[in-house]
């Protein structure tokens, strides 16, 4: 029996207990470990390994009862992540994988990773899609820096989920610029009545000054982005939810002050909220 056999067995057992039906190929180097911890109010696992590969068989993946997304952060060394596409992670990079698809993660040299476990169905609902293949998010991308801030901040209020929704949008996470990310994140967060331009900058992991400069180059401001996103939502509610009062629609859309809402709505839409609702009801196909 190999002198490393007990250690290999313990590593494999710890990995399966923490992450599911993964198989270790190629032996386990001394010093490798799997350690559970908590991050951002979620279960996470630290994995240190080298000179091996970790496989998740596709047939097993499709039949597992416990489905998760793994948001994997490369803390040290490098790794090759294969799930539908191949990516090489450098320190700081992220990789979003799903336990419902087969995968192969290989470690040609020493590697340290942190894997945050996110419930599959809940995250799919919040993202508005189901991830079919792994997604590499570079640390030096807009979303990568924002995810870094979210992980360091320890926030558990959907910050990670909203950023990941942007990361999987049209497969364009590495290419999103700061303005695109601000617009996308605002659309998802504007209903938070407490959202401010500074909050938006914090969520994106940049200073308010930097965000405002980027927006100003396109004749935008963070305050107007938030206001327009709220107006878009309240118009939809006014048209589609006749069971809600105008006040309830405004509050649901993120407006804190009804008188201020009425002024903004009249200025932007050239009619009162009540007039807009009446016109929407007349134009609805169900009313014809």
CA atoms of 76 and 114, how far apart (whole Å) = 10
What are the C-alpha distances in Å from 121 to residues 36, 43, 131, 161, 261? 22, 16, 11, 12, 35
Q: Which residues are bridge partners to 104 per DSSP?
A: 55, 82
121: tokens are 């169905």
CA atoms of 274 and 262, how far apart (whole Å) = 10
Look at residue 170 in the predicted model and tell me its pLDDT. Answer: 58
Residue pLDDT tens, the chain, 288 long: 445 467 888 998 999 999 988 999 988 888 899 999 988 778 899 999 998 999 998 888 877 777 899 999 999 999 999 999 899 999 999 999 999 999 999 999 999 999 999 999 999 998 888 888 899 999 999 999 999 988 887 544 678 889 999 988 755 445 678 999 999 999 999 999 999 999 999 999 899 999 999 999 999 999 999 999 999 999 999 999 999 999 999 999 999 989 999 999 999 999 999 999 998 877 665 544
Look at residue 66 in the predicted model and tell me its pLDDT. Answer: 74
pTM of the model as a whole = 0.86
Closest CA to 26 of 111, 117, 99, 88: 111
Contact at 8 Å (CB) between 61 and 101?
yes
DSSP summary character for residue 36: E
Look at residue 131 in the predicted model and tell me its pLDDT. Answer: 87
DSSP summary character for residue 108: S
H-only helix segments in 169-221: 178-189, 197-204, 208-216
Closest CA to 134 of 70, 190, 91, 77: 70
Look at residue 173 in the predicted model and tell me its pLDDT. Answer: 47
Contact at 8 Å (CB) between 245 and 219?
no
CA atoms of 276 and 269, how far apart (whole Å) = 8
Closest CA to 92 of 56, 158, 143, 55: 143
- In the sheet where 23-25 sits, what is the strand order? 23-25, 52-56, 103-107, 79-82, 86-89
CA atoms of 132 and 153, how far apart (whole Å) = 29
- In the sheet where 33-39 sits, what is the strand order? 33-39, 42-49, 111-119, 68-77, 94-98, 135-137
Look at residue 61 in the predicted model and tell me its pLDDT. Answer: 80
Describe the chain by its helix, strand, coil percentages, rounded to 5: 50, 20, 30
Closest CA to 75 of 93, 88, 87: 93
Rg (CA), the chain: 23
Closest CA to 50 of 136, 110, 97: 110
Give, for 33, the enclosing helix (H) or strand (E): strand 33-39
CA atoms of 4 and 136, how far apart (whole Å) = 33
């Amino acid at each position: 029996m190999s002198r490393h056999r007990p250690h290999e067995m313990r590593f494999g057992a710890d990995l399966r207990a923490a992450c599911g039906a993964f198989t270790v190929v190629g032996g386990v180097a001394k010093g490798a470990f799997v350690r559970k911890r908590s991050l951002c109010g979620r279960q996470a696992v630290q994995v240190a390994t080298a000179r091996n590969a970790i496989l998740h068989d596709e047939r097993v993946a499709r039949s597992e009862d416990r489905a998760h997304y793994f948001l994997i952060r490369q803390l040290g060394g490098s790794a090759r992540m294969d799930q539908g596409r191949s990516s090489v992670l450098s320190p700081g990079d992220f990789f979003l994988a799903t336990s419902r698809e087969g995968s192969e993660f290989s470690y040609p040299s020493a590697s340290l990773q942190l894997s945050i476990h996110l419930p599959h169905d809940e995250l799919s609902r919040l993202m508005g899609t189901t991830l079919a293949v792994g997604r590499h998010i570079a640390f030096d991308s807009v979303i990568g820096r924002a995810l870094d801030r979210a992980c360091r901040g320890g926030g558990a209020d959907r910050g990670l989920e909203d950023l990941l929704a942007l990361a999987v949008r049209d497969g364009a996470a590495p290419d999103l610029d700061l303005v695109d990310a601000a617009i996308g994140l605002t659309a998802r967060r504007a209903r938070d009545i407490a959202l401010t331009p500074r909050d938006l900058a914090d969520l994106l992991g940049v200073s308010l000054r930097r965000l405002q400069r980027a927006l100003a180059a396109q004749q935008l401001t963070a305050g107007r982005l938030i206001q327009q996103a709220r107006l878009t939502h309240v118009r939809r509610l006014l048209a589609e939810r006749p069971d809600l009062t105008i006040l309830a629609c405004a509050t649901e859309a993120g407006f804190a002050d009804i008188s201020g809402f009425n002024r903004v709505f009249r200025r932007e839409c050239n009619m009162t909220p009540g007039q807009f609702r009446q016109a929407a009801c007349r134009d609805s196909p169900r009313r014809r």
